């Protein structure tokens, strides 16, 4: 539910607010992207260790053997190292982005340092809370708060009440709020144990955790290079305006990924526990069921976005948004394929074969960066979208093959094909609907037809027990 509240707020902002300040939107999103890119490096693997090894340290009577304090200390060391090397990173970025006259971006480059540290600290707090099956409040504080704050700040800027500086520093304050809120929440749960301890760590465990953390850092950096560097490269090779358009297109398609984030948040501790107990049947079940459920939602969102896209661009006040049509198309396909492969990343990460993700990611990040460098100068932001699409497909195919090879299962079945057929037929039905001459009416009719037809057919075909139980529950509440 929290994910979709964020989607609604972000959707309203993308249609009615961000197009009126594309330059500022591009700059702010690029600052956030740069911070997110550096986050895995300064985490020193703490966010991965916080889930992977929590079952080893878990003991309420001993405050979980100082595990959270240890992860926090590790993260703070990473932040200190980052602070020491940041002047050199900032100088390099300044030299590069000045070539494209991205004045706002280069002016606020120093804020990448505190935003990065706060962002990864919030991630550690939120992911540690997931060990106790608590994901709603952390999601509100870590993700939803920014989705409310950023549109509000940019709207105030558009209306002339605040300056660019206020908007950028407002984003920084949002991350401070998230960290403070998450800290208070862990304290409220009785799980804020800040004193670190290494008593539980013997030499073999220390070696294992160090190796896992090291690979986790490289894995995270590879992931950001492969899949999240596109916004930065768009602003580096084009203009802040195009970066703003690209970020809006990215948001529209990122709604497709929202169900995956929720399922990953819930499944991470379960998969980690299942590997500790060698329960491969549980992992296989999660893999298959999550793939079907995610595809049902993903295809519905893809059809809904695509059939309404032209009308959405018409509603937006800036005509430049229309050039993002095929950017949305390629980003949408990339994220749909990511949904279809569901939790394959988590399965590999929490297995003894976690190193595979690193090797695949490092190879892929080189390919993806190379594609961005080659395609963006030729096709602009469309080149970045194509590079992202190729990256998602290649990387997820590699993981599918690897999991099948090592564990003997994959997430697909005849139900996968049925879902795609239902989706394609629903789309073709929507193309026969007439243009009513009003974008709002078009969205209402087209979106309404997709919303009524697709879920009904999927429900009647009984493709997913989880989905049918959800729909039945909603119908029962509605009828009451």
Structure confidence by residue, pLDDT tens digits, 167-208 = 999 999 999 999 999 999 989 988 887 787 777 777 788 888
* Nearest Cα to Cα of residue 314 among 16, 6, 13: 16
Q: Is the pLDDT of residue 117 over 70?
A: yes
Mean pLDDT, rounded, for 414-440: 91
User: pTM for this one?
Assistant: 0.80
Q: Find out whether 270 and 286 touch, Cβ atoms under 8 Å.
A: yes
Query: What is the residue whose two structure tokens read 């060391």?
Result: 77
**Least trusted range by pLDDT, from 35-39, 102-106, 415-419:** 102-106
Q: What percent of the chain is modeled with pLDDT above 70?
A: 95
Q: What is the pLDDT of residues 76-103, one digit of tens each?
A: 999 999 999 988 887 777 766 655 555 5
Q: Find out whether 174 and 146 touch, Cβ atoms under 8 Å.
A: yes
Query: What is the residue whose two structure tokens read 């499944």?
Result: 267
Q: Find out whether 259 and 340 touch, Cβ atoms under 8 Å.
A: no
The rounded distance, in Å, linking the Cα atoms of 320 and 240 is 13
Q: What is the pLDDT of residues 125-149, one digit of tens each?
A: 998 888 887 778 888 888 888 888 9
Token couple for 408:
């003997």
Mean pLDDT, rounded, for 14-24: 88
Token couple for 60:
């309420």
Q: What is the pLDDT of residues 206-239, one digit of tens each?
A: 888 888 888 777 777 766 766 677 877 887 788 8
The rounded distance, in Å, linking the Cα atoms of 74 and 363 is 28
Q: What is the pLDDT of residues 258-281, one digit of tens each?
A: 777 777 777 777 888 888 888 888
């Amino acid at each position: 539910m929290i994910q979709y509240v964020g989607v609604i707020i972000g959707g309203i902002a993308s249609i009615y607010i961000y197009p009126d300040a594309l330059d500022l939107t591009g700059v702010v999103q690029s600052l956030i992207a740069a911070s997110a890119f550096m986050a895995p490096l300064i985490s020193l693997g703490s966010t991965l260790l916080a889930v992977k090894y929590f079952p080893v340290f878990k003991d309420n009577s001993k405050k979980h053997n100082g595990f959270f304090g240890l992860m926090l200390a590790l993260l703070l060391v990473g932040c200190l190292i980052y602070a020491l090397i940041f002047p050199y990173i900032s100088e390099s970025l300044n030299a590069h982005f000045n070539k494209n006259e991205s004045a706002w971006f280069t002016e606020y480059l120093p804020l990448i340092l505190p935003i990065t540290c706060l962002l990864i600290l919030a991630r550690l707090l939120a992911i540690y809370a997931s060990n106790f099956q608590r994901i709603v409040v952390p999601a509100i504080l870590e993700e939803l708060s920014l989705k409310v704050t950023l549109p509000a700040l940019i709207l105030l800027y558009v209306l002339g009440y605040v300056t660019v500086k206020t908007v950028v520093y407002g984003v920084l304050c949002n991350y401070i709020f998230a960290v403070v809120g998450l800290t208070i929440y862990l304290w409220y749960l009785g799980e804020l144990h800040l004193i670190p301890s290494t008593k539980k760590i013997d030499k073999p465990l220390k070696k294992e955790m160090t190796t896992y953390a090291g690979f986790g850092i490289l894995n995270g950096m590879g992931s950001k290079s492969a899949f999240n560097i596109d916004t930065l490269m768009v602003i580096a090779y084009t203009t802040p305006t195009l970066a703003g358009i690209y970020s809006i297109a990215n948001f529209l398609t990122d709604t497709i990924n929202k169900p995956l984030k929720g399922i990953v948040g819930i499944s991470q501790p379960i998969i980690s526990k299942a590997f500790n107990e060698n329960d491969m049947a549980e992992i296989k079940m999660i893999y298959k069921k999550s793939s079907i459920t995610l595809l049902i939602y993903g295809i519905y969102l893809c059809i809904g976005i695509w059939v309404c896209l032209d009308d959405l661009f018409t509603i937006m006040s800036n005509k430049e948004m229309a050039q993002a049509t095929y950017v949305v198309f390629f980003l949408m396909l990339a994220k749909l394929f990511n949904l279809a492969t569901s939790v394959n990343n988590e399965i590999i990460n929490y297995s003894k074969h976690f190193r595979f993700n690193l090797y695949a990611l490092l190879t892929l990040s080189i390919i993806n960066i190379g594609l961005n460098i080659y395609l963006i100068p030729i096709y602009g932001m469309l080149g970045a979208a194509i590079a992202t699409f190729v990256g998602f497909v290649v990387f997820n195919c590699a993981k599918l093959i690897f999991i099948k090879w090592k564990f003997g299962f994959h997430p697909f079945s005849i139900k996968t094909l049925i879902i795609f057929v239902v989706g394609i037929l629903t789309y073709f039905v929507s193309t026969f609907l007439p243009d009513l001459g009003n974008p709002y009416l078009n969205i209402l009719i087209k979106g309404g037809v997709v919303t009524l037809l697709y879920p009904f057919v999927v429900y009647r075909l009984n493709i997913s027990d989880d989905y049918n139980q959800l729909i039945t529950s909603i119908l029962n509440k509605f009828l009451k």
